Amino acid sequence: MAVTLRTLQQRKQDGAKFSVLTAYDACFSRLISEAGVDVMLVGDSLGMVLQGHDSTLPVTTEQLAYHTAAVARGNQGSLIMADMPFMSGATLERALTAAHALMQAGANLVKLEGAGWLADTITVLKRNGIPVCAHLGLTPQSVNAFGGYRVQGREKSDAERLIEDAKHLQQAGADVLLLECVPRAVTAELVKAVQVPVIGIGAGPECDGQVLVMHDMLGITPGKAARFVRNFAADGGDIRGAFAAYDAAVKDGSFPAAEHCF
């Protein structure tokens, strides 16, 4: 049975975890979805892991639509979420244009980076039949404004603002929230404060779902791995086994562990 937004909402109500992995092509899409992973994210991370850029900023809507279509052709029942690229949320017109292209390419919902100011855009997207995941915390498209890839919400005022933004965006119509690089204690408060599913990456096991970049969890990304990454291919299994192990570890609560949290 295909995974839908209602599936994720039911998982949250039942206290059951769900898994998310990035995917960029039909071959890996098939393997990931066959392994039981619930959601595939066509991430703008492709700018780094596929194109070799040092950030996600150069990725375009056209490129994301191309990869979303490829992932859709290989999909065996997972929910497909596609990233909205850098500056696509700057105006309502840009947001509608980008989301239109991604949904027509095969996405089931789009992911938009930002904060509370996204509320009006999310409301308009929802009005036009486009489900939205709001990405909060460390938003990689704002890496230059942040001065690097830094944990967000450490200060009390920042944590309170993050939680208020989450509640505001839920009220505006966000179907899912994604938290990146947020202290575990802050995540626990935020998850309790909202009713929509919350996906985490470096945000602790309190989240309803977990996401990793496929290349990271396979241990093939050059350089030092981020704290929140676990190499699921390290045990010597094949790629299919790594995907299945990741899905199982998220759902049984063994990933992320304490060493993956802030």
Residue 202 is given by DSSP the state S
Q: Which string of b and e fits 95-118 if b means at least 16 CB within 10 Å? A: bbebbbbbbebbbbbbbbbbbbeb
Burial class (CB in 10 A: 0-12, 13-18, 19+), 189: middle
Q: Which of 62, 155, 164, 180 is catalytic?
A: 180
Of the CA atoms within 13 Å of residue 260, those in its CB half-sphere come to 23
How far is CA 257 from its chain centroid?
19
Is 62 noted as a catalytic residue in this protein?
no
Place of tokens 């086994």: 241
Calpha distance 259→141 (Å, rounded): 26
Please answer whether residues 81 and 108 qualify as being in contact, where contact means their C-beta atoms are separated by less than 8 angstroms. yes
Task: Report the relative pairing of strands 109-113 and 79-83 from DSSP bridges.
Answer: parallel
List, by residue number, the catalytic residues.
180
